[in-house]
Chain A
Amino acid sequence: MESRRCASAMEIEPVFKGAEAYLYLIEFAGMKALAKKRIAKDYRHRVLDERLRYERTVEEARTMLAALEAGVTVPSVLYVDPNEKLIIIEYVEGVVFRELIEVEGCSERVRKIAHRLGENVAKLHLAGIAHGDVTTSNVIVSNNDTPFIIDFGLAKKTRDIKEHAVDVHLFLRSLESTHPEHRDCIYQAFIDGYRSVAGDYTDKILAKVDEIRLMGRYVEARRQRTVWSM
Chain B
Amino acid sequence: MVSAVIQSSCNPQKLYKNVDFDREVYVLGIESTAHTFGVGIASTKPPYILANVRHVYTPEKGGIHPREAAAHHARVAPEVVSEALRVAGLSIEDIDAIAVALGPGLGPCLRVGATIARSLAAYYGKPLVPVNHAVAHIEIGRLATCFRDPVVLYVSGGNTVVVAYAKGRYRVFGETLDIALGNLLDTFAREVGLAPPYIVDGLHQVDRCALEANEPYELPYVVKGQDVSFSGLLTAALRAVKQGARLPDVCLGLREVAYSSVVEVTERCLAHTGKREVIVVGGVAASPVLREKISMMVRYHNARWGAPPPSLAGDNGAMIAWVGLLNFLSNVTIAVSDSVVRQRWRVDDVPVPWR
Among candidates B257, B268, B293, residue contacting A19 with C-beta atoms closer than 8 Å: B268
**Which residues of the partner chain A approach B264 to less than 8 Å between Cβ atoms?**
19-20, 41, 44
Asked whether, in the complex, the Cβ of B221 is within 8 Å of the Cβ of A52, the reply is yes
**Which residues of the partner chain B approach A221 to less than 8 Å between Cβ atoms?**
172, 175, 346, 348
In the assembled complex, B31 has its CB within 8 A of some CB on chain A:
no
Rounded to whole angstroms, the CA-CA distance of A225 and B161 in the bound complex is 13
For chain B, the bracket of interface size reads: 35 or more
**Which residues of the partner chain B approach A1 to less than 8 Å between Cβ atoms?**
none
In the assembled complex, B341 has its CB within 8 A of some CB on chain A:
no
Asked whether, in the complex, the Cβ of B172 is within 8 Å of the Cβ of A43, the reply is no
Nearest-neighbor residue (CB-CB) of B299 within chain A: A42
In the assembled complex, A154 has its CB within 8 A of some CB on chain B:
yes
**Which residues of the partner chain A approach B296 to less than 8 Å between Cβ atoms?**
41-43
Asked whether, in the complex, the Cβ of A224 is within 8 Å of the Cβ of B297, the reply is no
Asked whether, in the complex, the Cβ of A43 is within 8 Å of the Cβ of B171, the reply is no
Nearest-neighbor residue (CB-CB) of A44 within chain B: B260
Knowing A19-B271, A43-B263, the reply to whether A224 touches B171 (Cβ < 8 A) is yes
Residues of chain A in range 30-82 having any CB-CB distance to chain B below 8 Å:
39, 41-45, 47-48, 51-52
In the assembled complex, B2 has its CB within 8 A of some CB on chain A:
no
Among candidates B225, B273, B294, residue contacting A133 with C-beta atoms closer than 8 Å: B225
In the assembled complex, A203 has its CB within 8 A of some CB on chain B:
no
Among candidates A19, A44, A47, A228, residue contacting B215 with C-beta atoms closer than 8 Å: A47
Rounded to whole angstroms, the CA-CA distance of A39 and B349 in the bound complex is 36
Rounded to whole angstroms, the CA-CA distance of A224 and B173 in the bound complex is 9
Asked whether, in the complex, the Cβ of A48 is within 8 Å of the Cβ of B221, the reply is yes
Asked whether, in the complex, the Cβ of B171 is within 8 Å of the Cβ of A227, the reply is yes
Closest chain-A Cβ to B84's Cβ sits at a distance in Å of 34
Asked whether, in the complex, the Cβ of A43 is within 8 Å of the Cβ of B268, the reply is no
In the assembled complex, A180 has its CB within 8 A of some CB on chain B:
no
**Which residues of the partner chain A approach B300 to less than 8 Å between Cβ atoms?**
39, 41
Rounded to whole angstroms, the CA-CA distance of A17 and B171 in the bound complex is 23
Q: Which of A48, A51, A220 has the most CB of B within 10 A?
A: A48
Asked whether, in the complex, the Cβ of A41 is within 8 Å of the Cβ of B297, the reply is yes
Among candidates A44, A45, A133, A228, residue contacting B272 with C-beta atoms closer than 8 Å: A228
**Which residues of the partner chain A approach B94 to less than 8 Å between Cβ atoms?**
none
Nearest-neighbor residue (CB-CB) of B267 within chain A: A19
Rounded to whole angstroms, the CA-CA distance of A133 and B225 in the bound complex is 8
Asked whether, in the complex, the Cβ of B271 is within 8 Å of the Cβ of A43, the reply is no
In the assembled complex, B66 has its CB within 8 A of some CB on chain A:
no
Among candidates B175, B252, B271, residue contacting A45 with C-beta atoms closer than 8 Å: B252
**CB 8 Å contact bits of B263-297 with A (1 = contact, 0 = none):** 11001101111000000000000000000111011
Asked whether, in the complex, the Cβ of B166 is within 8 Å of the Cβ of A227, the reply is yes
Asked whether, in the complex, the Cβ of A48 is within 8 Å of the Cβ of B257, the reply is yes
Knowing A19-B267, A19-B272, A221-B346, the reply to whether A45 touches B172 (Cβ < 8 A) is no
Asked whether, in the complex, the Cβ of A225 is within 8 Å of the Cβ of B225, the reply is no
Residues of chain A in range 3-33 having any CB-CB distance to chain B below 8 Å:
17-20
Rounded to whole angstroms, the CA-CA distance of A52 and B267 in the bound complex is 16
Closest chain-A Cβ to B285's Cβ sits at a distance in Å of 16
Asked whether, in the complex, the Cβ of B348 is within 8 Å of the Cβ of A51, the reply is no
Residues of chain B in range 189-216 having any CB-CB distance to chain A below 8 Å:
215-216
**Which residues of the partner chain B approach A41 to less than 8 Å between Cβ atoms?**
260, 264, 267, 296-297, 300
In the assembled complex, A132 has its CB within 8 A of some CB on chain B:
yes
Nearest-neighbor residue (CB-CB) of A226 within chain B: B171
Rounded to whole angstroms, the CA-CA distance of A18 and B267 in the bound complex is 10
**Which residues of the partner chain A approach B346 to less than 8 Å between Cβ atoms?**
220-221
Closest chain-A Cβ to B164's Cβ sits at a distance in Å of 9
Asked whether, in the complex, the Cβ of B256 is within 8 Å of the Cβ of A225, the reply is no
Closest chain-A Cβ to B301's Cβ sits at a distance in Å of 8
In the assembled complex, B23 has its CB within 8 A of some CB on chain A:
no
Nearest-neighbor residue (CB-CB) of B161 within chain A: A221
Residues of chain A in range 186-222 having any CB-CB distance to chain B below 8 Å:
220-221
Can you list 16 A-B contacts (CB < 8 A)? Answer: A18-B271, A19-B270, A20-B268, A41-B300, A43-B294, A45-B252, A48-B221, A220-B348, A221-B348, A224-B171, A225-B172, A225-B348, A227-B167, A228-B166, A228-B173, A228-B272
Given A17-B271, A228-B171, 17 new contacts (CB under 8 A) = A18-B271, A19-B270, A20-B264, A41-B296, A43-B263, A44-B260, A44-B264, A47-B216, A48-B253, A48-B256, A51-B218, A52-B221, A133-B225, A224-B169, A225-B348, A227-B166, A228-B273
